[in-house]
A and B are shown apart, each in its own frame.
Chain A
Amino acid sequence: MSTTTDGQQRHAIGVAMKRKEDPRFIRGRGRYLDDIKLPNMLYLALVHSPYPHARIKSIDKSKAMALSGVKAVITGEDLDAAKLEWLPTFHGYDKQMVLAFGKALYQYQEVAGVVATSREIAADGAELVEVEYEPLDPISDPYQAREDKIVLRDDREQKTNHIYHWEVGDKAKTESALASSPVRIKERILSPRCHPAPLEPCGVVADMNKATGRLTIYMTSQAPHVHRTAFSLVTGIPEDKIHVISPDIGGGFGNKVPVYPGYVVATVASVIIGVPVKWVESRTENLTTTGFARDYHMDVEIGATKEGKVTALKVSTVADHGAFDAAADPRKYPAGMFGIVTGSYDFPAAFAEVDAYFTNKAPGGIAYRCSFRVTEASFAIERGMEILARKLNMDAAQFREKNFVKKEQFPYPSPLGFTYDSGDYAATLRKALDRIGYDALRKDQVEKRKRGELMGIGISTFTEIVGAGPGKQFDILGIKMFDSAEIRIHPTGSGIVRAGTRHQGQGHETTWAQIVGEELGLDPQELLVEEGDTDTAPYGLGTYASRSTPVAGGALALAARRIREKAKKIAAHLLEASEDDVEWKDYKFGVKGVPGKSVTMKEVAFAAYTNPPPETEPGLEATYYYDPPNLTFPNGAYIAVVEVDKDTGAVKVLRFMAVDDCGIVINPMIVEGQIHGGLTEGFAMAFMQEIKYDDGGNNLNTDFTEYLIPTALEAPRWETDSTVTPSPHHPIGAKGVGESPNVGSPQAFVNAVMDALAPLGITHIDMPLTREKVWRAIRDAK
C-alpha cells in the first residue's frame, strides 16, 4: 500500500516501482530495429538531393547497377509506375512524394533508393547514382513564400505557396477590446524550427513472404496500427496480410509518428524481390528529412487595464510547413491545439489565426513532445504575459496570479473553445514560489543589479492540453482517436496486459501494470505488459501527444473494471452469497456485513478456469475501447533563475523549480524521470537547438556537431514538486505528464534571461539564446 499524491491509500498506484523494462535496457538486452537480422536480408541506402529546389532532368542508374552486390535501384519514376509515388499526409489535405519526382523540393530530399547485399555496398551504390539537376531558386523563408513570386508545388491545382488559413475565436470582439485597452503589447515571437533527434534514428525491416503472401514490417513506429492501416490503404494489400511490429524504441518524441520514404522504398523493394530489406537512417538523414517541429512565427498582441487585468489576446501566426503539408495534426485541427494559446489566463476575448506556407525545407511539423502545437502556443502566451508584466511594471508572479483562471471556474470554457477539466493554478504557482524562495531571490536581484550583475528570474505558468482525444473531434486518416486495452488473467492470477499504445521509453510496461494491479488487487510484477505488435495488441492510435495515460490509461482501468464485474459473479459463487451482497473492498471481494469472509482476485482467477459458476463462460479477460469524453489539461508553474555574463553572453542556470499538476500520479519515480528529461529538452531548445537554413536553402544543422544535445554536463540541476487536481472525467483521475516539462520550460528560461537583461532595455531575443545572440543583444543595447 502507498499513499498517493491525493492523500489516498492505494495498492499499486502511487508506488515508485522500479521500471520493469529497465533490466533489459541497461544490460543491452533490448531488441531495437537495427538488432533485427533476417536470413537473406538486403539493405537500402537512399540518394538525397543536394539542391533545395531543382528540376530532375535525368537519373542514370547504370553505374550503380553495375556495382557487384547491388540488386535494385528505385526512382520516383518506378514508384509512379507502380502508383506508389504519392503518400497521403496525416490529415489528408495534401500528399507527399515518396521519392523526388520531376522536382526536388528540399535539400536532402530522397531521390532514389539502392538495394544491395550489404549496408556498405548500398551506400557505395547510392554514390554511383548520377542525377542531373537543373537548380531553381529556393525559398527558405515563409514570409518570402507568402509573396508567391516563386510557386513551389506545380503538382497542386492551387498555384500558391499558401496552404491554409485557420482561425478560432471572436475576431471583432478581440480587436475592439484591444483597441480600447489602455495598455497593450505586440511582439513577433518565433518558436524556431527544431528537431526531436531521438538517439535511435528511424528504420524498417520489410519482409514480404511470397509463400504466405504476408508482409511483416518491423518499424520504429509510435503508432503501429495506424501504420498498418496506412500501408494497406496505400498499397492495396489486405490489412490481414500486413503485420507491423514496433520493437523497442530508443526515443520517439513524435519523430516516429509519420511514414517516411525509407519505410516505403524498403517495403516496395521487399515486395518486388521477395526477401527482407532493411533501412536504417543515418543521423544526418534523421535531422534533415524526418519530422521537424515548430517553425511558428507568432505575432502576439495582449491588452490590459492599467491595473493589470488582461482584456484580450490576438495571435497571428505564419507557419513554415516545408515542402509538403505533412504536419502531424488531426483532420479538424490543421494547426493542432494552438487554441490553447490563452494558457492559464481568463481572457474575456481572444482570437488566434494561423496561415501556413510551403517552403523549400523538409516537411513535417510534428508534435515534438507536445500535443499538436501546444508548445508553440504556450511559448507565445508566456512570453507575451512576461513582456506585458514588464510594461505594466508589475511583478511577473503577481500579474499572473491576478489573471489566472480561478479554481472555482473549472470546468472552464476557454474563449477559444476548449473546456479545461481541473486545476488550481494559484496554489501551484504559490508552491513553486515558496519552494524557490521567490521573495528572497527578488531582493537578491535588486542588490545584484546595483552591482551591475545581470541576474534574472523567469516564470512559466502553463496549461497543456493532451489526451487526443474525443473521437468526435479528433481523427487521423479518419480513424477516431480512441485507444484500447486487453487484459487476460491467467488461472494462477498473473496476467498479460496489451494496449494500442507503443512506449518509447515512457515506462508503460510498469505504469500499465500498476493501473491494472490497482484495479484488480493484483501484483504489478505479475502482469506482463505487451505493446507494439499489431497481430496481438488491440487496435489503438499509438503513443504521442501525451495521450497514453489519458486515453489508453482509461481503457486499461475500464477493461480491468469489466474483469472485476465478471469476477464479482465468480466471487459470489465462491462465497456462496448473492452477487448483490458481494462488495469489492480493500482489494478483495467480501460479503457485506460479514467481516472476515472474502476471496482474493487470485482465488477468483483460479475459479474462473477450474470452478466457474453454472451458466457462466469460463475464463477471465476483457477488452475496452475508450473514447474519452474530453481532453485533459495538465499544468504547472516553472521558475528559472539565471545569471548572464555581460562580457560573453553566457547564461548560467542557477536554479530551476518545476511544480507539476498532472492529476493522479501512477508512478512518482517515472513522472519525475519524465520531467527531468523534458526539462533537459526544454533547456536545449532555449539555449542550443535550431534547424537553420541559409538563403540558398542549405540546411546548416545536419549532425550533432551543429545540432547540440545537452549532456549531464550542460543540464542544470532540476528541483521538482507537485500539486494534484484529479481530472474529473478520467477513470483514475490522471492527466498525463510526458510533455509538460518540454511545453512549459523553454519560456521559463527565456523569461529569466530577458528579466536579467531588462536593465539594458532588451525585450525579446528569439530562441535559441546562444552566447553569440545574447552577447550581440548586450552589445547593441549599450
Chain B
Amino acid sequence: MSLNWSGQERIAADKSTVWNFINDPAKIAACLPDVQSTSLIDAHSFNATVGVAVGPVRGKFTFKIVLEPRADGNHMDMKISGGGLGSVVDMVAGADLSADGATTILDWKGTASLRGPIATIGGRAVDTQSQRVIATTFENVKKRLSGSG
C-alpha cells in the first residue's frame, strides 16, 4: 500500500537558517512527535524509536532516518525506513526551499510504502495519523526556528 502527501509550509526564518536546521539530525529528531529515543549514526543519519498507535497496531517502531541534502542548498531528501511488530514502512520525502523575503518556503512531498499489519488497517486510518505526524513535525520546526520552542 502506498500513501502520498504534499504541501507547502512557510517558516518565519531565513533560508540559510532553515537549511542549517534541517541538515542537523539532532534538531530534526527533536521535532518528531512520539519519539521515545534517538541515536545519531553520523552527520546525516540517526535512528529513532517511535511510539505507534494505529488501530490494533500499538507498540514501538524503529526507524533509520537519512538526510540527503543537495549541494546547491535548495533541496533536501529524507529517507525513513524501518518498522516493528511485523510491519515495514519505507518513506521518501523531499522538500524544495525558496526564499520569500525573510520567510522560507518549503514545498514538500512524501511517499510511503506500508507492509504488514499496518497496511491492513487501511489507508484512511494510517493517512490521518501520518498527517498528524507531519503537521506536528512542522509545527515543532517552526516553533524552534522562531525561538519559541
Residues of A at the B interface (CB closer than 8 Å) are 48, 50-52, 107-108, 127, 284, 694, 696-703, 705-706
A108 to B120 Cα, complex, angstroms: 12
Q: Which B residues touch A51, using CB under 8 A? A: 88, 115
Known: A50-B86, A127-B84, A127-B85. A702 touches B117 (CB 8 A): yes
- Nearest neighbor of B117 in chain A, beta-carbon distance: A702
The answer to whether B120 touches A700, judged by C-beta atoms less than 8 angstroms apart, is yes
Q: Which A residues touch B116, using CB under 8 A? A: 50, 107-108, 698
- Nearest neighbor of B120 in chain A, beta-carbon distance: A702
Q: Does B2 contact A (CB under 8 A)?
A: yes
Interface residue ranges of B82-102 to A (CB < 8 Å): 83-88
Q: Which B residues touch A702, using CB under 8 A? A: 117, 120
- Nearest neighbor of B2 in chain A, beta-carbon distance: A696
A701 to B86 Cα, complex, angstroms: 15
Could you tell me how many residues of chain B have their Cβ less than 8 Å away from some Cβ of chain A? 18
A72 to B142 Cα, complex, angstroms: 49
Scan B90-131; emit 1 where CB is below 8 A from any A CB, else 0: 000000000000000000000001111101101000000000
The answer to whether A50 touches B56, judged by C-beta atoms less than 8 angstroms apart, is no
- Nearest neighbor of B116 in chain A, beta-carbon distance: A50
A50, A127, A706 pick with most chain B CB within 10 angstroms: A50
Known: A701-B120, A702-B120, A706-B120. A696 touches B115 (CB 8 A): yes
Q: Which B residues touch A107, using CB under 8 A? A: 115-116
Q: Does B1 contact A (CB under 8 A)?
A: yes
State the majority secondary structure of interface residues on A. loop
The total of interchain contacts (Cβ-Cβ below 8 angstroms) comes to 43
A107 to B2 Cα, complex, angstroms: 16
A522 to B119 Cα, complex, angstroms: 59
A706 to B84 Cα, complex, angstroms: 21
The answer to whether B86 touches A48, judged by C-beta atoms less than 8 angstroms apart, is yes
A649 to B131 Cα, complex, angstroms: 32
The answer to whether A698 touches B88, judged by C-beta atoms less than 8 angstroms apart, is no
**A50-B115, A108-B86 are known contacts; what are 16 more A-B pairs with Cβ within 8 Å?**
A48-B86, A50-B83, A50-B86, A51-B115, A52-B115, A108-B116, A696-B2, A696-B113, A696-B115, A697-B115, A698-B119, A698-B120, A701-B120, A702-B120, A703-B56, A705-B56
- Nearest neighbor of B114 in chain A, beta-carbon distance: A698
A706 to B120 Cα, complex, angstroms: 8
A48 to B87 Cα, complex, angstroms: 10
Q: Which A residues touch B83, using CB under 8 A? A: 50
User: What are 17 of the A-B contact pairs (CB < 8 Å)?
Assistant: A48-B86, A50-B83, A50-B87, A50-B88, A51-B88, A51-B115, A52-B115, A107-B115, A127-B85, A284-B117, A694-B119, A698-B115, A698-B116, A700-B122, A705-B55, A705-B56, A706-B120
Nearest-Cβ distance from residue B146 to partner chain A, whole angstroms: 39
The answer to whether A694 touches B1, judged by C-beta atoms less than 8 angstroms apart, is yes
Q: Which A residues touch B113, using CB under 8 A? A: 696
Known: A50-B87, A127-B85. A696 touches B1 (CB 8 A): yes
Q: Which A residues touch B87, using CB under 8 A? A: 50
- Nearest neighbor of A133 in chain B, beta-carbon distance: B88
Leading 8 A-B pairs by shortest Cβ distance: A50-B116, A50-B88, A698-B119, A50-B115, A702-B120, A700-B120, A694-B1, A698-B1
